[in-house]
Amino acid sequence: MSAQPPVSADGQAGASAEERPGRIEAVPVRHPGRWVAVAVIAVLVAMFLHLLLTNPVFNWPFVFEAMNQRVVIEGFIYGTLLVTLGAMVVGVVGGVILAVMRLSPNPVLSGVSWVFTWFFRGIPRLVLLTFTGGIGALFATGLSIGVPFDFLLDRWFGTGELRLFTLSQTEINVLVGSIFGGIIGLGLSEAAYMAEIARAGILSVDRGQQEAAEALGMTRSQTMRRIVLPQAMRVIVPPTGNEVTAMLKDTSLLIGIPVTAELFFQLRNIGSTTYQLIPVFVAAILYYLAATSVLMVGQYFLEKRFGRGFGSRMAPKPKAAAGAGAGAATGGAK
């Protein structure tokens, strides 16, 4: 863009000193670049629409037919939505507990939290889910909850078996092979990420807040629950929105377990039996976009709720949109 000649300020030279400058009627800066951009984008959009509308491979009627299949809808509700919800509940609750442990003065608790985060953040989710699905192989004789090394105690002291209850290998396989296994696997992985987010949130709260609460005679846990965490939520919610979006997409990894009651597996299944691959992929894209759009709206209201009392320092609307966009970017990297 070329620089415009400045509006000359010849008021002081010619006119009398008494004449006071009035309303400014300046020529605005021209933005020819914007019109070029509009033209280029318009052409690209037209080309894209041409592709969408005229290419027979898209087979739009089939897209909507595939989206309407009972197995697909069930896969979306159970495998995608329910697992996202369950894993996020496990992840958020676990993450907050891990963050509080990490910041605790007790070195054992903070060490355990660090190791948990190190372990679960270091494993790809597909690998973790595949391992979860196969974990039954470890327990050929079943899994018992009770006193460890009870066979030794029995040998030395004759205490007998000290076991509360036992799950058989078949029961374990059924359990981890269902969406329950997916919720646990994805939830533990999520807890590791949420721990870091919650920790950042807690650390963002001014130290004076804790002192003020303690000076009122509140205990450590009251201070955390009533004063620190509600303020930390303001910092925790936006990145958690990204995590939900990422989780929604990562439910497509349930095939690792393998759980088949899941959106993308069912759609791909339809695609491979009918040779209509592109239409089923488009159907999956539409489902995921619809779900993430709904999440963005929910995040907007959550941010508003936890931004109470912070006035103009919080600009919720653009932040929500930017957050979801960043989520799409980071989500793929996991």
Partner 1 sequence: MSPEQPLVRALNVHKAFGHVEVLKGIDLQVERGQVVCLLGPSGSGKTTFLRCINQLETFDGGRIWVDGKLIGYEERGGRLHRLTDKRIAAQRRDIGMVFQRFNLFPHMTALENVTEGPCQVRGVSKREAKLEALALLERVGLSDRAGNYPSQLSGGQQQRVAIARALAMKPKLMLFDEPTSALDPELVGEVLEVMKELAAEGTTMIVVTHEVAFARDVADEVVFMDGGVVVERGTPAEVLGAPKEDRTRTFLTRMRSEHHA
Chain residues binding partner 1 by CB under 8 A are 206, 208-209, 211-220, 222, 226-227, 230-231, 234, 306, 308-311, 313
Least CB distance to partner 1 at residue 305 (A): 10
Least CB distance to partner 1 at residue 306 (A): 8
Q: Which amino acid is at 232?
A: A
Considering beta carbons, is residue 273 or 312 the nearer one to partner 1?
312
Least CB distance to partner 1 at residue 298 (A): 20
Cα separation, 251 vs 91, in Å, equals: 14
Considering beta carbons, is residue 209 or 260 the nearer one to partner 1?
209
The number of beta carbons lying within 10 Å of the beta carbon of residue 172 is 18
Q: Which residues contact 126 (CB under 8 A, 6 or more apart)?
A: 253, 256
Least CB distance to partner 1 at residue 37 (A): 40
Considering beta carbons, is residue 127 or 203 the nearer one to partner 1?
203
The number of beta carbons lying within 10 Å of the beta carbon of residue 95 is 26
| Helix H or strand E segment including 164 | strand 163-167
Least CB distance to partner 1 at residue 228 (A): 10
Residue 148 per-residue DSSP state: T
Least CB distance to partner 1 at residue 277 (A): 51
The answer to whether 238 touches 323, Cβ cutoff 8 Å, is yes
| Helix H or strand E segment including 250 | helix 229-250
Considering beta carbons, is residue 158 or 311 the nearer one to partner 1?
311
Structure tokens at 107: 């070195």
Cα separation, 235 vs 217, in Å, equals: 26
Cα separation, 316 vs 234, in Å, equals: 11
Tell me the torsion sign for CA atoms 199, 200, 201, 207.
Answer: positive
Least CB distance to partner 1 at residue 308 (A): 6
Least CB distance to partner 1 at residue 217 (A): 4
Considering beta carbons, is residue 83 or 237 the nearer one to partner 1?
237
Considering beta carbons, is residue 22 or 208 the nearer one to partner 1?
208
Considering beta carbons, is residue 151 or 310 the nearer one to partner 1?
310
The answer to whether 130 touches 182, Cβ cutoff 8 Å, is no
Structure tokens at 27: 């020529």
Cα separation, 75 vs 288, in Å, equals: 12
Cis peptide before 258 (omega within 30 of 0): yes
| Residue labelled with tokens 């950042």 | 200
Least CB distance to partner 1 at residue 316 (A): 15
| Residue labelled with tokens 């020529």 | 27
Q: Where are the alpha helices (DSSP H) in 3-162?
A: 32-54, 60-67, 70-74, 83-102, 107-121, 125-134, 150-157
Considering beta carbons, is residue 14 or 208 the nearer one to partner 1?
208
Considering beta carbons, is residue 231 or 266 the nearer one to partner 1?
231
